[in-house]
Structure 1
Amino acid sequence: MLEYPDWNHSHRIADRMAALFLKRLTLQTKKTESGCVRSCFGKYMAQQTALAQLPLLASTPRVCCVVYAQAFSTAKDPHSERTKKKKKKEKTDFGSIGRKIHDRVIHVVDEQGNDLGNMHRANVIQLLDERGLRLVPRNTSTEPPKYQLMTGLQIHQERLQLREMEKAKRTTCQTLTKELTFSSSIGQHDLCTKSKQIQQWLEKKYKVQITVKEGRNKEEPANKMEEIFDQLLQMMPGIATFLSRPQPTKGGKALMCVLRCLTQKEEKAYRETQMSQNEDTLNKEHGKDRDSDTLHQ
């Protein structure tokens, strides 16, 4: 009889040899850390170890979602800094745009303020070259946007005016208030000293808040505190006026008011009234002298 080979036995031997080969290969990759072999079998090894560490009753895996995150860096983004500076410059800077006219049709006003109507940008550029002028934006939010032709001197003068206006806004915002408190039983000499101090503050464009407290002398008249405010204004003619009239405070035991310096218009009106009063007094004196001369005759 012919003897046939045991096929099951041969398959088992082949499986054992393959398993032994894979075991040796994995040990070799751990020792040498070869890049090529590690890239091929590293994923397989990680999966096997992860599956071995999983519990028997694993929960249902969650669906992963991709989250896009911006990279963190302590260095400043130069592009964002440039855009911020550009926006700030556009708000504050005033000047010519050169020959870069983005709109096809614009509304033009000449250097003397005359309205030239809507013009094509090619005609505007030709007009700039012919007159030697510059184009300045006036109102870019309208349709079509409004521009004006200006000379270099006009642009310089308008820049100076804008700077002066900004300085004036800063000074008005930075106006401070000085406070002064004293008793109604103050002496005349001390009151004169206080008025000089108030005048110095007003000349520096300060507001002065004055509080006059009720004196200890019970024989003082009820309107003593109001009289003190009137005396202070009389000591500073043509300089100060009330920003807020005297009002009771501290339960009626004191009066408080705020003084401010006169504006240029108020100063002019005060001078005119003073001149008219002086003329009236002089006319009256001359009239009395004439009457006396006629009586003597």
Structure 2
Amino acid sequence: MNDGVTCFFFFLRMTALRTMKHLCQATRNENRYAKRFFGTLLTQTAQKWFFSPLGIVVPDLRKSAVFGLTQPFCTDEKSHARPKTKTAFGSVGRRIPYRILHVINQDGESLGNMHRAEALKLMDQHGLKLVLLRENVEPPVYRLMTGQQIHEEQLKRAEKKKASPKPGVVQKELSFSSAIAKNDLETKTKQIAQWIEKKHHVKVTIRQAKGSSTDMLMLFDQILETVSEKATYLSKPKVAREGVSTCIFRHMSSKELKEHKKMEIKKNNTVKKDENEDLKSNELHQ
């Protein structure tokens, strides 16, 4: 009996000793890993600390990663360096970031400088819309316009943008009088065809000669008829100013060329069909 109790207590003692041994080993491992981790961290961040004259260790704010994150998202210098996106022409509504404006009325007359509240009051009173004309001046220039005026101006700008040559596209220019001789017109047309072959844009300007009754728009159509296999209008003929008309020719795209060939084939088939019908009709009458 005494031997059994003695063995039991001996077993408990050995178990307790093994448990204590494992706990001590785990504690030593944790301390070792903690020293490795924090030792590396302290080594990396040691250069971010300096000693003050009072002997107190304080963080160097110039090198601190934490304080570096608290810098403003965008400084004034960076905001000026960022290019401004060009806004589309149209009503700005009531979103006016400037306090003082230079306002022009719907007739194009200057109303002088005024506070934006006064400009908005005029807009509401007359049922007009405010449009930003020039932003890079002091003060910025706004104009009061009707919806119809805005629409017409948008169409003009779209036409101007369409007519302007794209980057990398060469635009040639040619001008002559409406009283041009037939041989000279043929020479000019050949020159246009050569430029079109090279996929250049060709701006043609025709001046109305004194005493000439030639329709300048018909001259443009005549030129296009000669080069119609590859050319079309980029900008249709229009009166630029009194006595002067202009247009721009361009090379047709691959899709346009295919459509043009289809139309020509269809047109030729129609002509042949009409000729055959005329022949049959003549044979019957004979």
Q: TM-score range by the shorter chain?
A: 0.3 to 0.5
Larger-Rg structure: 1
TM-score by length of 2: 0.40
